[in-house]
A and B are shown apart, each in its own frame.
Chain A
Amino acid sequence: MSTLLEVRDLHVGFGREPRDNEVVKGVSFGLEAGKTLAIVGESGSGKSVTALSVNRLVDFGGGRITKGKITLQRADGAAIDITAADEPALQRIRGREIGMIFQEPMTSLNPVHTVGAQIEEAFRLNRGLVGAAATRAAREALERVRIPDAAQRLRYYPHQLSGGMRQRVMIAMVLASNPRLLIADEPTTALDVTVQAQIMALLAELREELGMAMIFITHDIGLVAGIADDIMVMQHGVAVEQGKLDSVLDNPQHDYTRHLLKAVPHFTSGSAVRSDGGSHAAPIVTVDNLAVRFPVLKGLFRRKTGAVHAVDGVDFELRPGETLAIVGESGSGKSTTARAILGLVKATRGRIEAKAGRSGRPVQMVFQDPYASLNPRLNVEGLLAEPAIAAGQRVDAKLRQRMVFLLERVGLTKDALSRYPHQFSGGQRQRLCIARALMLNPDVVVLDEAVSALDVSVQARVLELLIDLQREFGLAYLFISHDMAVVERIAHRVAVMYAGQIVEIGKAAAVLGAPQHSYTKRLIAAVPAIERRRQHFAVDVTQVPSLVRPAGFEPPAAKWREAGDDHRVRVEETA
């Protein structure tokens, strides 16, 4: 095997004095043709900058390669030093020799052109195909990325496709030029787990078919375990450990790799669920036959032609001191359920009952995005005071005492009071949100993907904090998440939502360890895990059914089957 790419002592800096602001400080690696290198690290580790230097896209982000050599073996056998190449030469290399896919497929596609037109353009630019030949090539490219009904999908606009479909279209465009190296920058981070598994399986298959090399950038060390040959772990701009996949994963040498491997939530099929807590007391929140529907209006007179059944016939109980996790993918209705409980969306039908507990507002919420859920213009004191002011309390010494107590309890210091949200990191902000939710001493905290936006090691610490707080204050959590590994760590009970309905609910160990419903099984099989890296996944193209129903549609009453003590499964229709 010949070496395709050779990076020696790469330094990349930003700003006016790139030498003083280095983000990548001396990274070296080699990549053979047809092999896959995974670059793993947390945000700010320099992993994306390293990869973007390989095709010099980093120049457009204000970066400068200050030192080092990047040698690419071109298709005709000539070697070229990327760091010294001029822009026209780089343009010939980008796309044709080095393809790239990004994290967010929606922003990478042009919204005003059909996907067909965009793929055809890629073929025209790279292979000179026009007219019917280009259309045929585009259709074949879509078929190659396993998009069903490829001929029809060519006429779709990006917004008409799901996130996973869009990422496949991006891959199809990249493949138009038959690149010998594909750089994938967190290509599945924005996608649901089952979709992520589909894309990963697709990439693995395409790599075999086309024999291309891949650089795969990710923060999730478990994700690359099944696809990479080599792995490079980065921290603060330095490759702290690199080597063959198996040797790094099974026998990590550097402390940071070990820390990363430990911090990544491992999903162990329900064998690591919490043994503490839980309760059999009377439920504090009871949700009975909850339905949330959003009307679909059509035509000049805005006639109601149907409704999106976002949540349909959901029942569950939350007991004091326990964590009920609601898992599901985007669009499954889990967030809508949470919002309905807090009164942020109006329930179309059903009953939500929250017992008045220690305070007037027994249910509080922590949102997903710690950057968006804090008003940037208020300092911490103002932010923490808000729930109390809303409850009619006065901002006095006693209230300030509680603020300081909670700040210290969530791991922040007293001097944080006078600071503003932008002066905190993502993890600290989420701690602020947690402190704010606890200001009124609630009984229930709804955590809507509360740790999903955080880096893995931060995530692990926030989860520990949440578990500690639950024990200390006897809180009940409604934990909304798509991440099975995180759920396994914190949940006592798990409810699985699919297409607006709960399909399985019960004790965490039972649901995660012995899933009964076919969707739960699929969800669990899709979780990337280091332990299961040698299993092979076939590309699965199952689509979520549409939630738009005609006006007057009522779903059939759910039939339930007991699968054990506190474990219920919805009986599946055999259509």
Chain B
Amino acid sequence: MGLLKAVWRHPSGRIGAAIIFIFLVLAGLGVVGLTPHDPLKQFVVDRLKPPSATYWFGTDLLGRDNFSRLMLGISESFIVAFASVAVAASAGAVIGLFAAWWGHLWDGVLMRTMDVLLAFPAILLALLIVAIEGAGMVTSIVAIGIVYTPIFARVVRAPALALKAREFVEAARTFGSSQGYILTRHLLLNLVAPLTVQITLALAWALLTESGLSFLGLGTQPPAPSLGVMLAESKSMMTRAPWLMIFPGLTIMLAILGFNLLGDALRDILDPRTQGRAA
């Protein structure tokens, strides 16, 4: 609770948290079906209607409510983004920690593998993985997770190397502390701040990559809407029905902005030395 309060006191954290909170509420309502209209139902008489009191964000070519579809789309995209970042952060943190801790050959093998992955452009690598495994939500999560793993491995390895040489780790060895204890309490715990910042930034990228994959038809499959699917469907009607493009596009932009603002705020708050108080 203290952390939420601190985020709220932080000027940019408040904006970021508000944006993400609103999107999470919309996504949650979308998942449980509390949308103004059925997102998949086609109101044939109301095709391509501009925003109005009935259809807040207008309707699409098949007469489906754009706002309801957007709510469901946000939830689809967020689920993929959160899950893939969870995959990337855990895999990357483990790889980075072990590379730093074992050193020598392990460090070389693990980090060169990460370098190879890092050499591919994110969307291309994700495309490759999806092309091998076939499109779908789980594949998207795994693909985006793999794509962002090297970044987490890098973010963890460098400070872990520095922490490994710190006197408190040496002190822990003199007590006979176990490797697992040292890795979690002395290394990982001190990496919370950089990891949190990286996680929020990666959420923004993952969201963008998911949208990209769906836009290309390799992520979420229609008729289930995701932000990328909605953008793809809107492109042929950009001039006739601009609302179909504007709202999903604005959502992606705001979500990325929100994650970034939140990440900055969390970094300021989570480091006990910057505030002179314990978080």
Given the known inter-chain contacts A364-B174, A387-B175, please indicate yes or no for A372 contacting B168, CB distance below 8 A.
yes
On chain B, the residues within 8 Å of A377 by CB distance are: 189-190, 192, 272
On chain A, the residues within 8 Å of B167 by CB distance are: 367-369, 372-373
Given the known inter-chain contacts A344-B170, A375-B190, please indicate yes or no for A386 contacting B175, CB distance below 8 A.
yes
Q: Across the interface, do B185 and A378 meet the contact criterion of CB distance under 8 Å?
A: yes
Contact of A378 (CB < 8 Å), options: B166, B177, B189: B189
Given the known inter-chain contacts A420-B272, A422-B272, please indicate yes or no for A375 contacting B174, CB distance below 8 A.
no
Q: Across the interface, do A374 and B168 meet the contact criterion of CB distance under 8 Å?
A: yes
Q: Across the interface, do A389 and B168 meet the contact criterion of CB distance under 8 Å?
A: no
Contact of B168 (CB < 8 Å), options: A373, A420, A422: A373
Q: Across the interface, do B171 and A365 meet the contact criterion of CB distance under 8 Å?
A: yes
On chain B, the residues within 8 Å of A364 by CB distance are: 174-175
- Chain B, residues 156-193, CB within 8 Å of chain A (1/0): the string is 00000000001110111111111001000110011010
Name the CB-closest residue of A to B186: A375
The reply on B5 being an interface residue by CB < 8 A is no
On chain A, the residues within 8 Å of B276 by CB distance are: 422
The reply on A306 being an interface residue by CB < 8 A is no
The reply on B278 being an interface residue by CB < 8 A is yes
Q: Across the interface, do B178 and A390 meet the contact criterion of CB distance under 8 Å?
A: yes
Q: Across the interface, do B177 and A389 meet the contact criterion of CB distance under 8 Å?
A: yes
CA distance A378 to B172 in the complex (A): 13
Give the B interface residue count (CB, 8 A): 22
The reply on B273 being an interface residue by CB < 8 A is yes
CA distance A389 to B172 in the complex (A): 11
Name the CB-closest residue of A to B173: A344
- Chain A, residues 310-345, CB within 8 Å of chain B (1/0): the string is 000000000000000000000000000000001110
Q: Across the interface, do B278 and A419 meet the contact criterion of CB distance under 8 Å?
A: yes
Q: How far is the CB of B198 from chain A (nearest CB, A)?
A: 17
CA distance A373 to B168 in the complex (A): 4
Task: Say what secondary structure dominates the interface of chain B.
Answer: helix
The reply on A570 being an interface residue by CB < 8 A is no
Q: How far is the CB of A403 from chain B (nearest CB, A)?
A: 15
Q: How far is the CB of B250 from chain A (nearest CB, A)?
A: 39
- Chain B, residues 235-279, CB within 8 Å of chain A (1/0): the string is 000000000000000000000000000000000000011001010
Within 8 A of A (CB), among B95-124: none
Contact of A379 (CB < 8 Å), options: B173, B175, B190, B278: B278
On chain B, the residues within 8 Å of A422 by CB distance are: 272-273, 276
CA distance A243 to B189 in the complex (A): 53
CA distance A375 to B192 in the complex (A): 13
- Chain A, residues 359-370, CB within 8 Å of chain B (1/0): the string is 001011101110
Give the A interface residue count (CB, 8 A): 31
Q: Across the interface, do A376 and B177 meet the contact criterion of CB distance under 8 Å?
A: no
On chain B, the residues within 8 Å of A373 by CB distance are: 167-168, 170-171
Q: Across the interface, do B190 and A376 meet the contact criterion of CB distance under 8 Å?
A: yes
Contact of B176 (CB < 8 Å), options: A367, A390, A419: A390
Q: Across the interface, do A361 and B272 meet the contact criterion of CB distance under 8 Å?
A: no
CA distance A376 to B272 in the complex (A): 8
Q: How far is the CB of B123 from chain A (nearest CB, A)?
A: 36
The reply on A391 being an interface residue by CB < 8 A is yes
Q: How far is the CB of B121 from chain A (nearest CB, A)?
A: 36
Given the known inter-chain contacts A376-B273, A419-B278, A422-B273, please indicate yes or no for A361 contacting B175, CB distance below 8 A.
yes
The reply on A382 being an interface residue by CB < 8 A is yes
On chain A, the residues within 8 Å of B175 by CB distance are: 361, 364, 386-387, 390-391, 440
CA distance A423 to B181 in the complex (A): 24
Contact of B166 (CB < 8 Å), options: A372, A420, A423, A440: A372
Q: How far is the CB of B84 from chain A (nearest CB, A)?
A: 27
CA distance A377 to B272 in the complex (A): 8
Q: Across the interface, do B177 and A386 meet the contact criterion of CB distance under 8 Å?
A: yes
On chain B, the residues within 8 Å of A342 by CB distance are: 173-174
CA distance A524 to B34 in the complex (A): 84
On chain B, the residues within 8 Å of A423 by CB distance are: 278
Given the known inter-chain contacts A375-B186, A379-B278, please indicate yes or no for A390 contacting B168, CB distance below 8 A.
no
CA distance A361 to B176 in the complex (A): 8
CA distance A361 to B171 in the complex (A): 13
Q: How far is the CB of B44 from chain A (nearest CB, A)?
A: 60
Q: Across the interface, do A365 and B168 meet the contact criterion of CB distance under 8 Å?
A: no
CA distance A440 to B176 in the complex (A): 12
Within 8 A of A (CB), among B12-43: none
Contact of B174 (CB < 8 Å), options: A365, A369, A378: A365
What 8 A-B pairs come out closest when comparing CB atoms?
Answer: A372-B167, A373-B167, A387-B175, A390-B177, A390-B175, A377-B189, A375-B168, A365-B174
Q: Which A residues contact B (CB, under 8 angstroms)? A: 342-344, 361, 363-365, 367-369, 372-379, 382, 386-387, 389-391, 419-420, 422-423, 433, 436, 440
> Would you list 12 pairs from A and B whose C-beta atoms are within 8 A, ordered by A residue?
A343-B174, A344-B170, A364-B175, A369-B167, A372-B168, A373-B167, A373-B170, A375-B168, A379-B278, A386-B175, A386-B177, A391-B175
9 other A-B residue contacts (CB within 8 Å) besides A342-B174, A379-B278, A420-B278:
A343-B174, A364-B174, A365-B174, A372-B168, A374-B168, A376-B273, A377-B190, A390-B181, A422-B273
